[in-house]
Amino acid sequence: MGNKNKTVSFRVNEDTFDALRDIAEERDLSLSAVFRDYVDALVANDGRVDVVPTDDVGTEVDEEFPPKVEVPKSFVREHERLELEAEHLREQLDEHKAYINALRDELEEAEDVDDVVHLDDLESGSEEESFHLG
Buried/exposed code over 70-92 (b: 16+ C-beta within 10 A; e: otherwise)? eeeeeeeeeeeeeeeeeeeeeee
For the chain, the average pLDDT equals 79
Q: CA distances (Å), 22 to each of 25, 35, 52, in order?
A: 5, 13, 17
State which H helix or E strand residue 81 sits in: helix 73-109
pLDDT in tens, 104-117: 888 788 765 666 66
Are the C-beta atoms of residues 65 and 48 closer than 8 Å to each other?
Answer: yes
For residue 67, whether the previous peptide bond is cis, meaning omega lies within 30 degrees of 0, is no
Torsion region of 63: left, alpha or beta (phi above 0 gives left; psi -120 to 50 gives alpha): beta
Of the listed ranges 42-56, 65-79, 89-103, the one predicted with least confidence: 42-56
* Neighbouring residues of 21: CB distance < 8 A, sequence distance ≥ 6: 31
Most confident of 10-14, 26-30, 41-45, 93-97: 93-97
